[in-house]
């Protein structure tokens, strides 16, 4: 019972902050709403018994990636905001049809779930981080090493791209 209430509160916060991210006028406010969104998602991960992912979400996403966004927003702080005119090539009718299709899909998911409710069959080990560590280093070792090389390449690439030509 308490879990459902907590889920609805955090779901409302997540969707609310997400809408604020895409509709805020000032870019810095958008970034702040994104941080709040990520913190609510981390809280939802704790409800889902994924404590390691929750802490990684706060540390890497909210504490690292969004700080990077904030730095870039402050470095490109323009005086005139970019959205000044309506794009004449916007396809309003096609957009409405697609939105209705998506809405129909969501209703279909909800109805299917209501007709055949699937509970939670499996149980997760409470020693969550041991399990994740074991899986990362035995079954998924190759993707782990590839991910580390990817991060190294991305780091070097970002430094080269953002360097000033002296």
Partner 1 sequence: MMTQTHFLVLSAALFMIGIIGVMTRRNIIIVLMSMELMLNAVNINLIAFSRQLGDVTGQVFAVFVICVAAAEAAVGLGIILAFYRNKETINIDEMNLMRW
Partner 2 sequence: MIEAVVFPLIKIVIVLAAVLTTVMYIVLLERKVQAWVQVRLGPMRVGPHGVLQPLADVLKLFVKEDITPVLADKWVFTAAPIIVLVPALIAFAVIPFASNEMKLFGLPISGRIADVNVGLLYVVSVASLGIYGIILGGWSSNSKYPLIASLRASAQLISYEIAVTMTLVTVIMLAGTLSMVGIVDAQAKQGMWFAFMQPVAFFIYFVGGLAETNRAPFDLPEAEQELVAGFHTEYSGMRFAFYFLAEYANMIVVSAVATTLFFGGWLQPFPNVSWLSWLGIVPGWIWFCTKTFVFLYVFLWVRATFPRYRYDQLMRLGWKWLIPLAILNVVVTGFLKVLL
Q: List interacting residues with partner 2 (CB under 8 A).
A: 26, 28-29, 32, 35, 51-52, 55-56, 58-59, 62-64, 67, 70-71, 74, 126-129
Site string for partner 1, 43-82 (x = CB under 8 A): -xx--xxx-xx--xx--xx--xx--xx--xx-xx-x--xx
Q: Does 92 bind partner 1 (CB under 8 A)?
A: no
Q: Which does 126 bind (CB under 5 to 8 A by kind): partner 2, partner 1, none?
A: partner 2
**Least Å from the CB of residue 81 to partner 2:** 14
Q: Which residues 6+ apart lie within 8 Å of 140 measured at CB? A: none
**Least Å from the CB of residue 97 to partner 1:** 14
On whether the CB atoms of residues 11 and 41 are closer than 8 A, the answer is: no
**Rounded-to-integer distance, Cα 137 and Cα 139, Å:** 6
Q: Which does 36 bind (CB under 5 to 8 A by kind): partner 1, partner 2, none?
A: none
Identity of the residue, 97 or 153, whose beta carbon is nearer to partner 1 in the bound complex: 153
The helix-helix angle for 141-162 and 128-137 (nearest 10°) equals 90
Q: Is 34 exposed, middle or buried (0-12, 13-18, 19+ CB in 10 A)?
A: buried
Q: Which of 100, 102, 104, 145 binds partner 1 (CB under 8 A)?
A: 102
Rounded to 5°, angle at Cα 107 from 23 and 38: 40
Q: Alpha carbon of 74 to those of 29, 64, 67, 139: distances in Å?
A: 12, 16, 11, 42
Site string for partner 1, 140-159 (x = CB under 8 A): x--x---x--xx-xxx-xxx
Q: Is 38 exposed, middle or buried (0-12, 13-18, 19+ CB in 10 A)?
A: buried
Q: Does 126 bind partner 1 (CB under 8 A)?
A: no
Identity of the residue, 107 or 124, whose beta carbon is nearer to partner 2 in the bound complex: 124
């Amino acid at each position: 019972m308490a879990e459902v209430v907590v889920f609805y509160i955090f779901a409302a916060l997540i969707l609310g902050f997400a809408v604020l991210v895409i509709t805020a006028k000032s870019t810095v406010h958008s970034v702040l709403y994104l941080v709040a969104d990520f913190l609510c998602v981390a809280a939802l991960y704790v409800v889902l018994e994924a404590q390691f992912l929750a802490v990684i979400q706060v540390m890497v996403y909210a504490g690292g990636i969004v700080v990077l966004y904030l730095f870039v927003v402050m470095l490109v702080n323009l005086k005139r905001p970019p959205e000044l005119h309506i794009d004449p090539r916007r396809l309003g009718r096609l957009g409405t049809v697609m939105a209705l299709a998506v809405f129909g899909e969501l209703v279909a998911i909800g109805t299917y779930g209501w007709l055949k409710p699937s509970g939670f069959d499996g149980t997760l080990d409470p020693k969550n981080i041991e399990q994740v560590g074991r899986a990362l280093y035995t079954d998924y070792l190759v993707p782990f090493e590839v991910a580390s090389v990817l991060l190294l390449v991305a780091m070097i690439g970002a430094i080269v791209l953002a360097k000033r030509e002296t």
